């Protein structure tokens, strides 16, 4: 649905809905992609759902570290559920239209969840920092009230800014082509369809990236710098190995999340091809949430023992 208006004395077709192209160029593989992505989505739901259940029912895992992990897994489920169901629908029925309002809602929820995940990763790094660098103060600092406040803070901190950011993005007129060369509504491909002066909007996008991505990443980097300094001072090799093992899973997830996210956004905002951007976005959208439960379960001895005990009890 489109209508014709005037902008700077020229007739321009203003966009009222987008067409999500996704991987429409792969005409013969739509059903195959549907099956692959459906299987991945089910794995994400089952894997992260299992972590949530285990961290809530097993008393041995009801510690701050696993409390944060359970919340992180819940965010992962929400994060993928914002985009993947519509993507699966588009692959199945080939109807790729999405209204401006639906696109704005999808973008807003997606960004809120990305920001929440970014802050939760910083909170989990801080938890490991206190546990390793200040172990005597750990029970006092990381009490239940503090943990709940940190999780709530991770959820709500970015909401007002993200709502304003989404409003700014959709306040810019979209004209010309309504074909969004992506599989969900994301800021970089949307800005490529915007007309008029987009400098102010793009400036605030970079500011938000700095506040909600770079600053948490720097806090994580600072935490692990101090952790590494403390670990290297430990007298025994066994102590060093144990300390490293408690951080390795989280550090791996941090590298996957921030590595793929930074590459996707900074490459998208450059003049690079969106074809590459879609593949990178797909990686951090579905591959990372799928492998996170495997990373935590396979690299954590306490988790493996608990899973074996639960499965032997109920199966």
Residue-level pLDDT at 2: 43
What is residue 24's DSSP assignment?
T
Helices and strands per DSSP (H, E), number in the chain = 14, 5
Task: Give 174's DSSP letter.
Answer: B
Give this prediction's pTM. 0.89
Nearest Cα neighbor of 220 from 187, 265, 261 is 261
| Cα of 201 vs its chain's centroid, Å | 22
User: What are the structural domain ranges in the chain?
Assistant: 16-314
Q: In the prediction, which pLDDT does 183 show?
A: 87
* 16-314 CATH fold: Rhopdopsin 7-helix transmembrane proteins (1.20.1070)
Q: What percent of the chain has a predicted confidence (pLDDT) above 70?
A: 90
Q: Is 2 helix (H, G, I), strand (E, B) or coil?
A: strand
Distances (CA, A) of 76 to 44, 69, 246: 8, 10, 21
Tokens in use for 288?
């990372």
Give per-10-residue mean pLDDT for the chain (315 aa). 44 74 79 92 93 86 91 94 92 86 94 95 95 93 95 95 93 83 86 82 86 92 93 81 80 86 66 63 82 78 76 67
């Amino acid at each position: 649905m489109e209508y014709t208006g005037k902008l700077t004395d020229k007739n321009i077709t203003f966009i009222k809905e987008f067409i999500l192209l996704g991987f429409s160029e792969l005409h013969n593989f739509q059903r195959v992609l549907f099956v692959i992505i459906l299987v991945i989505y089910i794995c994400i739901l089952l894997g992260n759902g299992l972590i949530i259940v285990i961290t809530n029912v097993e008393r041995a895992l009801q510690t701050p570290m696993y409390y944060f992990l359970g919340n992180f897994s819940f965010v992962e489920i929400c994060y993928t559920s914002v985009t993947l169901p519509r993507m699966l629908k588009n692959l199945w029925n080939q109807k790729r239209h999405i209204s401006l309002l639906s696109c704005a809602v999808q973008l807003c929820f997606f960004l809120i969840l990305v920001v929440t995940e970014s802050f939760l990763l910083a909170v989990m790094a801080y938890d490991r920092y206190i546990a390793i660098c200040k172990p005597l103060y750990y029970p006092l600092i990381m009490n239940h009230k503090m943990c709940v406040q940190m999780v709530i803070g991770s959820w709500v901190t970015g909401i007002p800014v993200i709502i304003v950011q989404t409003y700014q993005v959709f306040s810019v007129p979209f004209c010309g082509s309504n074909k969004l060369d992506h599989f969900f509504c994301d800021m970089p491909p949307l800005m490529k369809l915007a007309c008029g002066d987009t400098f102010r909007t793009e400036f605030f996008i970079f500011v938000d990236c700095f506040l909600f991505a770079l600053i948490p990443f720097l806090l994580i980097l600072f935490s692990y710098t101090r952790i590494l300094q403390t670990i290297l001072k430990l007298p025994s090799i066994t102590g060093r190995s144990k300390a490293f093992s408690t951080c390795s899973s989280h550090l791996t997830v941090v590298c996957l999340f921030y590595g793929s996210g930074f590459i996707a956004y900074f490459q998208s905002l450059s003049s690079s091809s969106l074809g590459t951007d879609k593949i990178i976005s797909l990686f951090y959208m579905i591959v990372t949430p799928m492998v996170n439960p495997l990373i935590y379960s396979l690299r954590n001895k306490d988790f493996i023992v608990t899973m074996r005990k639960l499965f032997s009890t109920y199966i």
